[in-house]
């Protein structure tokens, strides 16, 4: 059974339609990438899954349960966690306080100490900096914190919106290595990225989103070799 299944989704901001007949699926344990240029509708896609943007048509199923009518908090409680574009950390709070806020869902709150211990063993830099203000971290360190805060919610589906955005090349490599490690720990991942090469290098499958529509779907390596993808996104 698919962990996530979207069927014929349409969503709009007012009169502006941003998703048109979008259908996709994720199987348990996969990394699936959704790639496309800026303004293609990638962020709108994960906002719709999260319940922050309401679907006007179609349905979204998570582990067989329809998400369309649920509130964003109820969707989080089911284990669907979004790590938003631009990190959105609480800069005036410490690293530890940011992490603790990630465990606000009832199921995650009861396992806060256990999850925090796992995060610190998994990402020792955050334990070293736990009493440091988040604003004093580098951009790459802040992105690591944002990912770790999402993991505090004990996701069964972890949606990452442009995790490499604005990072130096060294940190981009580290972030994608971290995404792979999270996946190896049993977390299904929907990866939203403009960086097509890095995203498809770690994903099993990929979708290309253009003007709110899915225009291509294939195994990641096949998409990387596709001549239309090369011309449109790699300049080759």
- Domain holding 77, by residue range, is 28-55+67-234
Residue 75 included in any domain: yes
Residue 23 included in any domain: no
d(CA 18, CA 41): 6
Residue 137 included in any domain: yes
For 141-179, b/e burial (b = at least 16 CB within 10 A) is bbbbbbbbbbbbbbbbbbbbbbbbbebeeebbebbbebb
For residue 179, the domain's CATH number is 3.40.50.300
Structure tokens at 1: 């059974």
**Number of domains forming the structure of the chain:** 1
pLDDT in tens, the chain (236 residues): 689 999 999 999 999 999 999 999 999 999 999 998 888 999 999 999 999 999 999 999 999 999 998 999 999 999 999 998 877 889 899 999 999 999 988 888 889 999 999 999 889 999 999 999 999 998 888 989 999 999 999 999 999 999 988 888 888 888 899 999 999 999 999 999 988 889 999 999 999 999 999 999 999 999 999 988 877 776 54
β-bridge mates for residue 217, sequence order? 207
Smallest Cα–Cα separation from 133: which of 146, 142, 124? 142
Residue 41 included in any domain: yes
Residue 214 included in any domain: yes
Tell me the whole-structure pTM to 2 decimals: 0.92
Residue 6 included in any domain: no
Residue 191 included in any domain: yes
């Amino acid at each position: 059974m698919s962990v996530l299944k979207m069927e014929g989704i349409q969503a709009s901001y007012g009169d502006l339609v941003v998703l048109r007949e979008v259908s996709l699926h994720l199987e348990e344990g996969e990394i699936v990438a959704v790639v496309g240029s800026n303004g293609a509708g990638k962020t709108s896609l994960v906002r719709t899954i999260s319940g922050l943007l309401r679907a006007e048509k179609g349905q979204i199923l998570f582990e067989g349960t329809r998400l369309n009518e649920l509130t964003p908090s109820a969707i989080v409680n089911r284990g669907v966690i979004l790590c938003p574009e631009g990190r959105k950390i609480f800069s005036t709070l410490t690293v530890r306080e940011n992490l603790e806020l990630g465990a606000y869902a009832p199921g995650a709150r009861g396992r806060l100490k256990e999850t925090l211990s796992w995060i610190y063993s998994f990402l020792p830099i955050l334990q070293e900096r736990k009493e440091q203000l988040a604003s004093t971290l580098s951009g790459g360190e802040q992105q690591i914190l944002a990912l770790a805060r999402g993991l505090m919610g004990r996701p069964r589906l972890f949606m990452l919106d442009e995790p490499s955005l604005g990072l130096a090349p060294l940190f981009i490599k580290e972030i994608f290595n971290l995404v792979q490690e999270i996946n190896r720990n049993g977390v299904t991942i929907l990866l939203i990225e403009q960086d097509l090469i890095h995203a498809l290098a770690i994903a099993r499958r990929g979708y290309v989103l253009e003007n709110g529509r899915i225009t291509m779907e294939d195994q990641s390596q096949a998409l990387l070799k596709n001549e239309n993808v090369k011309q449109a996104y790699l300049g080759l």
